Amino acid sequence: MIDIHNTNELNNILNKLEPNAKPLWGKMSPQHIVEHLAMAVKISTGRINSKFYSTVEEAEKIKDRVIRSTAELTQGIKNPILSDEPPALQFADLKTAISELHKEIDHFKNYYTQNPNIKHTQPRMGDLDHKEWLTLHNKHFAHHFNQYGLLK
C-alpha cells in the first residue's frame, strides 16, 4: 500500500505514468485515473458532496472489507457514482491533472489538521473520519496505480 502523505513516494509513482499508457484492466486513461483520484479526495474534504447509496448494514460490511482489513481493492470494484464509461476529461493534460491532484492532497492534509473530528459521506460507506478516509485513499490510489503496473 502507499501513503498519500508521502509526497516523494507519490511523485515517484506519478512520474512513471505515461499519458498514452494502456491499463492492465478497465477503461480509464492515465489522466482519467488522476482526475478520478482528485475527485475522491474532494469528496473526502466536502468540496464535493456525495449521496449515500447503501444501507447502514451494507456500509458496515463494506467498511469491514475495505477499511478494517488489510485486503487490497479488487479489479472491477464498482463505484455507484460512476458510469461504465469514463467521464469527459476536466484538464488540458496529464501534467495539469497531476498538479491538481497534489493541490487536493495538500488541502486534505491541511483540512483534517484544522478539522480533526469532521466526517464526510463516502457513497458506499457513509460518514468517514480522517483516519478512515486516509486508509481508503491509500488503498484507492494503490488500486489505480496497480491498474497501470506502477507499484511493481
Predicted confidence (pLDDT) per residue in 23-63, tens digit: 999 999 999 999 999 999 999 999 999 999 999 999 999 99
Cell of 102: 497534489
CB burial class (10 A; 0-12, 13-18, 19+) of residue 70?
Answer: exposed
pTM value surpassing 0.85: yes
Residue 113 lies inside a defined structural domain of this protein: yes
Statement: residue 128 has pLDDT above 90: yes
**Position of cell 477503461?**
27
In percent, the amount of the chain with pLDDT more than 90 equals 89
CATH code of the domain covering residue 40: 1.20.120
| Bridge partners for 127 per DSSP | 121
Please say if the pLDDT value at position 81 is more than 70: no
Q: Does 61 reside within a domain?
A: yes
Tell whether 2 is covered by a domain: no
76-82 contacts at long range (C-beta below 8 A, 24 or more positions apart): 76/25, 77/143, 79/123, 79/124, 80/53, 80/123, 80/124, 81/50, 81/51, 81/53, 81/123, 82/36
- 1 in a structural domain: no
Number of domains in the chain: 1
Q: Which residue has the higher pLDDT, 74 or 130?
A: 130
Give me the DSSP letters along 28-55. --HHHHHHHHHHHHHHHTTSS-----S-
119 falls within a domain: yes
Quick check: is 152 in a domain?
Answer: no
Domain that holds residue 126: 7-18+27-73+85-147
Contact 63, 132 (CB under 8 A): yes
Within a domain: 44: yes
